[in-house]
A and B are shown apart, each in its own frame.
Chain A
């Protein structure tokens, strides 16, 4: 394999929203082209914050972050031009139609109208949304909006794709297609940054897994490496070993007994 330079480097990254509590404390990472990164961690671990910094949405942080060798804090526009982002919340102007929305996004990336339309229609057709291309999205289900968001995230052929829980709301068939797309993109040399809570998906599609907890990286490697280090079978097991709580059975028992009516008394 040819030695390549990292496409994303993170050095001593710290981030605090209020100046007191740090959401991210000292993150160091190198990410290489062609990798599918599974970025996982418990709720509130700092996943979304990391992504927002990497895509140039948040610019006041401590440390140095480069994407494509460019400093994101200083040159966010050039970075944004070459990355795609599919956010966790379905944020789009839902009074527009999918085609209108995608044309809008395309124009921002500076793609010609014809090109945008051609790409959009092709993708919408494959996602089964062709007949809805001119219907306003406020009546769309979460899954349908998610498909439009995914199309919007890829329309400018980005080199890095950031996905935050991209399969939420999608039917099983579409989910398989998305996973296949990611695998093929990675073969082409594109980089995928995949945030999720669904461990078996991460275990299957990601060739590198990064676990963060309380703003610190606690594991970083291939699934096999993580398995070897942590004597766990599944990623789910490894994850819960690393992020603290053992004794899930007892916890479940406690929760159940909390709402059971007490018949013995």
Chain B
């Protein structure tokens, strides 16, 4: 695979030489990076995970190809070629940019091979172009899977001229997107001064992930496709500012023979702007970018020192651990898990988007229906939809419980094995309690206020039952993952890929409990009885969970 990619890149050798890149060195660096990526996933000791992991890239490609089918269908539905092409390229460019910023930040900001490459005689331009090419290879994969269906449909409908021009436009749009992402990062670095850069990127990624997940729910419900079918796109002055229009224009020009002035200008923009921007990236932005990245490591460590005393001002973990734990070991782990989950970037990145996603789902499920949003809002109090709100909250906590087994610093979990813990159950329960308190309270408090405001105090008993059911769901997940200590497993390792079943249970258990709860609302006195039963289960479950012995821990 690596050789195949490199042989394709060899075709553009002249272009790289033109950019004053040392091609030999460039090629060998790219070879090392790609080989490293390729083996990274498979080379882990666990053979079992081999298959799943090496497929992760294929899986991403598959998902994007599926979305691509929906995109391609627009070619069939919309009459005007220019309009459909602008839409297709808009979607492709936005999705590529989002993928670039959210999924490939690690590749773009990778500092790990600095120590290998910076002491060697490689000029910074070659280094940056190698870095860019490395990313472009992945981005091209995404873009190609996204547009596969469009290419197929378009070729079938419009002939090979379409295919050729479309592919050329595609390459130029990717170049442009890479430029935009680069400028975006440089601006962020300038604004944040490097120190909080990674945090800002993190919150941007969380926002984007939630936005991407949510938009699949929202967009189809909001856009009325009927109106688009016969829509035409008059060219105004601002059309020249819309990059997808640059990419769509040459296709329209080539296929329909529309050689009018505006189309020619748009096509020229589509050709010149990406070329100019990539030259700007390599000539002017790249050196600064590289310097900023190599500084980031050092700044990152010196910045930490100043945060030292700020963290302890609100000693929430200590406060809550006294409230909810009695055993000293359990209390210690409670505080540790609380703090680690606040500071582990990966943990936030994996859990926080779900929170935003659930908010959007709640909105979709409760407010969007046959009638318009306002009417739905007015009739809300007479429906039992508070159950939906409460149980969406119930799903969030198991997500966190599931995730808290993983960390980039999984090796640090050796301490649990080295310290004299009598029962590992104390460790596990301390961490579970920390997750329930730390995430359960902030999720449930606004939910409770909202539900009480809309439905009134009559549903108080439902809230209590839902809360207990949330703890039960978390306990179920915790029992499934009982063999792993908190933050003891590697991301991307075997443990994470075997998680599939728990990911399913995570949704099924709260959904099932929610359904039972819903049915119980029709039986008089069922809710108070349910509360008693649920409380009993929580009590017994917590007790049993705390009694887990060493034999059930996986080393």
Contact = CB atoms under 8 A, between A and B. Distances in A.
Interface of A: 17-18, 21, 55-60, 76-78, 80-81, 83, 85, 87, 89, 91-93, 95-96, 100-101, 104-105, 107-110, 136, 138-139
Nearest to B297: A17
Contacts of A138: 43
Nearest to B42: A95
Contacts of B298: 17
7 closest A-B pairs by CB: A91-B115, A95-B39, A80-B121, A85-B119, A81-B121, A107-B28, A57-B118
5 contacts: A80-B119, A87-B115, A93-B36, A104-B29, A138-B43
B122 A108 contact: yes
Which of B32, B120, B123 counts the most A-chain CB atoms under 10 A from its CB? B120
B25 A107 contact: yes
Given A17-B299, A77-B121, A104-B28, 18 more contacts: A17-B302, A18-B299, A56-B118, A76-B121, A77-B123, A80-B120, A80-B122, A81-B121, A91-B116, A93-B36, A93-B113, A93-B116, A107-B24, A107-B25, A107-B28, A109-B120, A109-B121, A136-B43
A95 B35 contact: yes
A60 B24 CA distance: 28
Contacts of B45: 139
B497 interface: no
Interface string B347-374: 0000000000000000000000000000
A216 B120 CA distance: 28
A136 B118 contact: no
Given A17-B302, A104-B28, A60 B120 contact: no
User: How many residues of B sit at the interface, in one of the four size bands?
Assistant: 20 to 34
Contact of A108 (B29, B294, B302): B29
Contacts of B116: 91-93
Contacts of B115: 87, 89, 91
A17 B295 contact: yes
A136 B44 CA distance: 11
Interface in B377-436: none
A91 to B, nearest CB: 3
A163 to B, nearest CB: 12
A56 B119 contact: yes
Given A17-B302, A18-B299, A57-B294, A108 B36 contact: no
A59 B119 contact: no
A96 B118 contact: no
A59 B299 CA distance: 16
Nearest to B287: A59
Contacts of A104: 28-29, 31-32
Interface string B210-245: 000000000000000000000000000000000000
Given A77-B123, A105-B120, A108-B25, A18 B302 contact: yes
B445 interface: no
A95 B39 CA distance: 6
B315 interface: no
Contact of A95 (B31, B43, B299): B43
Nearest to B45: A139
B40 interface: yes
A101 B36 CA distance: 10
A102 B55 CA distance: 29
A101 B33 CA distance: 11
Contacts of A93: 32, 35-36, 113, 116
A59 B291 contact: yes
Nearest to A90: B115
Contacts of A92: 116
Given A59-B291, A104-B28, A108-B29, A136 B39 contact: yes
A136 B43 CA distance: 8
Nearest to A85: B119
A265 B28 CA distance: 68
Contacts of B46: none
A164 B119 CA distance: 13
Nearest to B120: A108
A80 B121 CA distance: 5
Interface string B86-116: 0000000000000000000000000011111
Interface in B279-332: 291, 294-295, 298-299, 302
Contacts of A100: 35
A93 B38 CA distance: 12
B289 to A, nearest CB: 14
Nearest to B193: A18
Contacts of A56: 118-119
Contacts of A60: 291
Nearest to A110: B24
Contacts of A95: 35-36, 38-40, 43
A108 B30 CA distance: 12
Contacts of B24: 107, 110
Contacts of B120: 80, 105, 108-109
A26 to B, nearest CB: 20
A87 B119 contact: yes
A56 B119 CA distance: 7
A237 to B, nearest CB: 31
Most chain A CB within 10 A, of B31, B118, B295, B299, is at: B118
